[in-house]
Amino acid sequence: MPSDPRVLLVDDDVELSRMLMEYMGGEGFDVHAVHDGEAGVGQALSGSYDLIVVDVMMPRLNGVEVLRRIRARSSLPVLMLTAKGDDIDRVVGLELGADDYVPKPCSPRELVARVRAILRRTQRESGGEELNSPLEVAPLVLWPQKRSVEWDGTPLALTSTEFNLLEVLVRHAGRVVSKGDLSEQGLGRPLARYDRSIDVHLSSLRHKLGRYADGRSPIETVRGIGYQYLRE
């Protein structure tokens, strides 16, 4: 049987950490907690975890800096805990490569749902021919099973959520995908009102992807509807 997913919780609130560990443990997760950013970075880069939950508001080394240091060396999924209503922290976190965020105070049930949504997308089991075969929209090639992408032969370093969203768009290349469908298929959750996560992730993707010979980005915004991946 597969082992329980290993989750690292980085939060200086000891009481909250204990409560979340107990709840998530009962939901089938193996959770370890540390209470400062330096320890969080060290543990995150140890290769022992499937996902990390990081609180933004921590003394000394805050969650944004923790994320920055992790992203410099790893694409491990990271979920941020942000202050309720603090859009700046959310956008900065997403721009730095966070996979998702949950506003505090949060319910343990919502946190578990978000964690599971991320892990479903990043821990696919080996599948059939569709998963093994690359998706090609020249000059981009995407391998769903290996979760790797190349643009004109050059590998791209994408976060797990960027990869998920790009895969959805490439599978529907030439057709518009609504933001609601992107949220469901790429983030694993319904689109929330005023949620800018997808816009920020796709802005980052545009910077990482190359451009076509005529200067166009392959990802086009269709105002009021969603996005589409353009064929050259």
Q: Are residues 58 and 106 in the same domain?
A: yes
pLDDT at 1 over 70: no
* Percent of the chain's residues with pLDDT above 70: 94
pLDDT at 129 over 80: no
N- to C-terminal Cα distance for the chain? 45
In angstroms, what CA-CA distances link 148 with 45, 135, 154, 182, 219?
20, 11, 11, 19, 18
Give the separation between CA 39 and CA 44, rounded to whole angstroms. 8
Taking the whole predicted model, whether its pTM rises above 0.85 is answered as no
Q: Are residues 209 and 134 in the same domain?
A: yes
Instruction: Domain count for the chain, please give it.
Output: 2
Give the model's pLDDT for residue 128. 41
The mean pLDDT value for 157-177 works out to 93
Give the separation between CA 177 and CA 225, rounded to whole angstroms. 8
Cβ(180)–Cβ(189) below 8 Å:
no
Q: Is the pLDDT higher at 72 or at 84?
A: 72
Q: Are residues 136 and 208 in the same domain?
A: yes
Single out the residue in 72, 107, 122 at which a domain terminates: 122
- Helix or strand or coil: residue 226? strand
- Helix or strand or coil: residue 101? strand
Q: Are residues 41 and 97 in the same domain?
A: yes
Q: Is the pLDDT higher at 53 or at 185?
A: 53
Give the model's pLDDT for residue 130. 47
Q: Are residues 118 and 134 in the same domain?
A: no
Q: Are residues 93 and 138 in the same domain?
A: no
Pull the structure tokens for residue 199: 């816009």
Average confidence score pLDDT of the chain: 89
Cβ(78)–Cβ(105) below 8 Å:
no
Q: Are residues 93 and 157 in the same domain?
A: no
CATH at residue 43: 3.40.50.2300
pLDDT at 125 over 60: no
1 belongs to a structural domain = no
Domain housing 153: 129-229
